[in-house]
Amino acid sequence: MPKALHSPSPARELLLRSMALYSCLGAGGQVVAQTSPLSPASAQAAPSQADSVPPPTLQAAQGRVEIQGPDGTWRAQTAPTEITTRLRVGTGRAVVQEGRLGQVVVGSAAELRRYLGEADLLSGRFFLRGPVAVHVAGNHVVMDGAGEMRVDLSANEKRVAVIAGRLRIALKGRGIEVGAGQQIALDSGRVSAFREADPWYAAQFTGLGAASVEATRGPVSLIQRGATRVAVIGDDLQPGAALNTGAAAWAEIGFTGGGYLRLNEESALSVVSIERTSAGREVLLKLEKGTAWNVVEKGQGGYRIDTPVVSTAVRGTVFRVDANGLVKVFDGQVALPGQTAGGQVAGDQAVSQGQQLSPGGPLVPLQLDAVDRFNIAQDAVRAQALTLSLDLPGRSLQELALSARSLPDARVTLTVAGQTVPLGGENGVFRLERLTDSLPEGQYTVTVRAQRYGQTLTRTKPITVDRTPPRLSGLVVKRVGRILTLSGVVTDAGDSRIGLGVTVGGQTYTRTVETQSSGSFVWSLPLPSPAAPASLTLRDGADNQSHARLP
């Protein structure tokens, strides 16, 4: 038997389990014919002793955690329960007790099963505290004493890394020991140095994060819940959602806590999960094809994007990644867990500011191409501060009309009386000529909102819709020689200031009457002749008018 199988364990339960399980595991964790020197009696007795060890049990669940029932149906689970088949996490965290003292933290988009009485980690990200014994993709892993390790299982990264303590793993027919600061690649069995660059497990899960479409140009499609449609600004991207861009098209996605991704033309990206955590947020994305330009704000948690070739893990940087594995870093540093150098597995790689790395190639100085220049220029455009100003023809209106000024590529909408309409325009001027459905007379609050690349500005204005002309009552007209004297009372439904205009002998005289007090007035004007014709006009702020010919 391999040396690892005979190492004494401080915890008796782990020793018993190791004796039973290692004796029946071959390369890759498959059950094979008995080959250990254990006697048939001891081989039969060991499993019964190991059966006294508690089975893997869900202790705590946050977010979407599901357990598969005996009938194959997945059901949401929040209460502690024994895992008899499989457990999976959508966006959230699960804490699984393994044995009496071991603990497995299951990250978003991860799955495990119960196998030979232990947890078998199948896909996703895991953090384990020892003492613990588990299977990892069918390979048996034992950490006898206190310690910590992480397990990463994706299409291009399959590793077990030791943060503290030591572990033993049965891999490819042999036992291998891995110590703190080391990791083992499950595909090759190579042990290499490990330095933690993506401690996703260190922050507490606080809820679901969010991503939304912040800008699009050209044909961009959104696939969500099995339906495909044109992506528009403001679309929320749930886990499982995918964006596809056509020729000469691009789309920008903004994330909880800040930062954004620009999906360049002819590219495809899917959202795996987005968490809100005590450290900001954790983002998991998958780039299927094309190019993604990433601006990750420092201090906002983790950000990971996987491609068919490489995985990238960052915590604040500006970088480009292509689905073919090309990585370019313009600010900060990007970790490439479990990648290769010169065609050989070499553990973690890192690409620093001013460097780029192609799959299987060496690190070289950054070389800008047309895609980089486009994104750099677009970042400068995005960085412009959003502005918004309104121009209303008056506070009282017969029909709502206004213009707004903002940046030319802003999305400007108007909301009034429960209806929201987009404002069209050009050169930064956005206009509403008239609502399709006229507003009834009354008082309203108009809200105009400008949105651009995740920025939002809002302006509100009170208005009065008034189509009723002002009224004149108790009019008295006196002509004494060349003096015309008028008196009366003015009322209006909307305005407190009404304009009066008298035209006499080709000359027009104007004044204002305040209706908030009494609305009464007395007005004397000159007459060119005692019998000169005269007329009176009343005009409110909405340009409603009343006319009267004076005797």
* Rounded CA separation 363/169 (Å): 32
User: Are the C-beta atoms of residues 166 and 180 closer than 8 Å to each other?
Assistant: yes
For residue 131, give Cα distances in angstroms to 67, 144, 175, 430: 24, 5, 18, 65
The sign of the dihedral angle between the CA atoms of 491, 495, 497, 500 is: negative
Q: What is the pTM of this model?
A: 0.74
The DSSP code for 53 is S
Average pLDDT, the chain: 87
Among candidates 101, 102, 55, which has minimal Cα distance to 80?
A: 55
* Rounded CA separation 438/417 (Å): 11
Collect all residues with Cβ–Cβ distance below 8 Å to 494 and sequence separation of at least 6.
396, 441, 464, 466, 468, 540, 541, 542
- 427: part of which helix (H) or strand (E)? none
Strand, helix or coil for residue 55: coil
* Rounded CA separation 15/62 (Å): 32
* Rounded CA separation 431/111 (Å): 53
Check pLDDT > 90 for residue 516. Answer: no
The DSSP code for 481 is T
**pLDDT tens column, 437-475:** 899 999 999 999 999 988 899 999 999 999 999 999 999
Collect all residues with Cβ–Cβ distance below 8 Å to 505 and sequence separation of at least 6.
527, 528, 529, 532, 533, 534
Q: Would you place residue 279 in the very low, low, confident or very high pLDDT band (cuts 50, 70, 90)?
A: confident
Instruction: Please name the residue that has the structure tokens 């370019």.
Output: 328
E strand spans, 373-496? 388-391, 396-397, 402-406, 411-416, 419-422, 424-426, 429-432, 442-452, 455-465, 471-480, 483-491
**pLDDT tens column, 235-264:** 999 999 999 999 999 999 999 888 999 999
**pLDDT tens column, 137-182:** 989 999 999 999 999 998 888 999 999 999 999 998 889 999 999 9
Among candidates 62, 56, 82, which has minimal Cα distance to 70?
A: 82
Among candidates 144, 72, 174, 160, which has minimal Cα distance to 113?
A: 72
* Rounded CA separation 316/297 (Å): 5
Q: How many CA atoms lie within 13 A of 460 on its CB side?
A: 5
Torsion of CA 207, 213, 219, 222, to 10 degrees: 20
Token reading at 546: 């009343």
Token reading at 357: 């790395």
Q: What are phi and psi of 512, to 5 degrees?
A: -120, 140
7 alpha-carbon distance from chain centroid: 48
* Rounded CA separation 82/65 (Å): 14
Q: Tell me, what amino acid is at 169?
A: I
Strand partners, 176: 169
**pLDDT tens column, 207-239:** 999 999 999 999 999 999 889 999 998 899 999
Check pLDDT > 60 for residue 25. Answer: no
SS3 content of the chain, % helix, strand, coil (to 5): 10, 55, 35
More confident call, 263 vs 347: 263
What is the per-residue pLDDT for 341? 42
Largest CA distance in the chain: 137
User: Are the C-beta atoms of residues 291 and 321 closer than 8 Å to each other?
Assistant: yes
For residue 145, give Cα distances in angstroms to 117, 142, 236: 20, 9, 45
What is the per-residue pLDDT for 433? 85
**pLDDT tens column, 289-302:** 999 999 998 888 88
Among candidates 164, 161, 112, 156, which has minimal Cα distance to 138?
A: 112
What is the per-residue pLDDT for 393? 82
Strand, helix or coil for residue 463: strand
